[in-house]
Chain A
Amino acid sequence: MDFDLNAPHSMGTTIIGVTYDGGVVLGADSRTSTGMYVANRASDKITQLTDNVYICRSGSAADSQVISDYVRYFLHQHTIQLGQPATVKVAANLVRLLSYQNKNMLQMGVIIGGWDKYEGGQIYSVPLGGTILKQPFAIGGGYAKLDRSGSSYLYGFFDQAWKEGMSKDEAEINADGVTKNFYSGDSLPLWHEELEPQNSLLDILSSSSPEPMNT
Chain B
Amino acid sequence: MKLLSTKATCNSHGQDSSYFLGWEEYEKNPYDVVQNPKGIIQMGLAENQLSFDLLESWLAKNPDVAGFKRDGKSIFRELALFQDYHGLPSFKKALVDFMAEIRGNKITFDPNHIVLTAGATSANETLMFCLAEQGEAFLLPTPYYPGFDRDLKWRTGVEIVPIQCTSSNNFQITESALQQAHEEAKKKNLRVKGVLVTNPSNPLGTTMSKSELNLLIDFIKDKDMHLISDEIYSGTVFTSPNFVSVMEILKERNDLKDFDANVSERVHIVYSLSKDLGLPGFRVGAIYSENDMVVAAATKMSSFGLVSSQTQYLLSAMLGDKKFTRNYISENQKRLKKRQGMLVLGLQKAGISCLKTNNAGLFCWVDMRNLLSSNTFEAEMELWKKILYNVKLNISPGASCHCTEPGWFRVCFANMSEDTLNLAMKRLKDFVANNNGEECSSNKRTRSTQASRSFSRKSLSNWVFRLSSRDRHEQEER
Q: Do A and B come from one complex?
A: no
Residues of B within 8 A of A (CB): none
